[in-house]
Structure 1
Amino acid sequence: MARATGKSEAVYERLKGDIESLRLRPGAKLSEVQLGEELGASRTPVREAIRRLAREGLVDFVPGEIARVAPISLGGVRALYEFRMLLEPRAAASVATVGSTDERVLVPFRELLARLEEFDETFRTLDTTAQTGSYQRFYEVSEGFDQAVVAACRNPYLARTIADLRSQTVRLRHLSHTGPRRMLTSLEEHRAMLKAIIQGDAEAAEAAGRHHLAQTLQALIDSLVGQDFAVGADVRVDLAQ
Structure 2
Amino acid sequence: MVRATGKSEAVYERLKGDIESLRLRPGAKLSEVQLGERLDASRTPVREAIRRLAREGLVDFVPGEVARVAAISLGGVRALFEFRMMLEPRAAAMVTAVGAADERVLVPFRELLARLEEFEESFRLRDAAAQARSYHDFYEVSEDFDQAVVAACRNPYLARTIRDLRSQTVRLRHLSHSGPRRMLTSLEEHRAMLKAITNGDVEAAEAACRHHLAQTLQALIESLTSQDFVIGAEVHLDTAL
Q: TM-score, normalised by structure 1?
A: 0.94
Partner of 1:237: none
Superposed displacement of residue 230, structure 1? 8.5
**SS at the partner of 2:3?**
helix
Give ranges in structure 1 of 5+ residues lacking alignment.
232-241
Partner of 2:203: 203
Partner of 2:140: 140
- Contact 2:4 2:42 (C-alpha < 8 Å) held by counterparts: no
**SS at the partner of 1:123?**
helix
- 1:204/1:230 CA distance change after superposition, 3 Å: farther
- 1:230/1:222 CA distance change after superposition, 3 Å: farther
**SS at the partner of 2:61?**
strand
Superposed displacement of residue 3, structure 1? 3.4
| Structure 1 residue runs of 4 or more that deviate by more than 6 Å after TM superposition | none
Give ranges in structure 2 of 5+ residues lacking alignment.
232-241
Superposed displacement of residue 62, structure 1? 0.5
Q: How does 1:20-39 map to 2 (within 5 A)?
A: 20-39=20-39
Q: Which amino acid aligns with 1:127?
A: D
Q: TM-score, normalised by structure 2?
A: 0.94
Q: Which amino acid aligns with 2:21?
A: S
For residues 10-36 of structure 1, the C-alpha deviation after alignment (integer angstroms, 9 at most, x for no partner) is 000000000001000000010000000
Cα RMSD between the aligned structures? 1.2
Partner of 2:98: 98
Which shifted more, 56-65 or 92-101?
A: 56-65
- Contact 1:109 1:194 (C-alpha < 8 Å) held by counterparts: yes
Partner of 2:12: 12
**SS at the partner of 1:25?**
coil
The number of residue pairs the alignment matches comes to: 230
Q: Which amino acid aligns with 1:88?
A: E
Mapped pair 1:88 → 2:88: yes
Partner of 1:215: 215
- Contact 1:119 1:138 (C-alpha < 8 Å) held by counterparts: yes
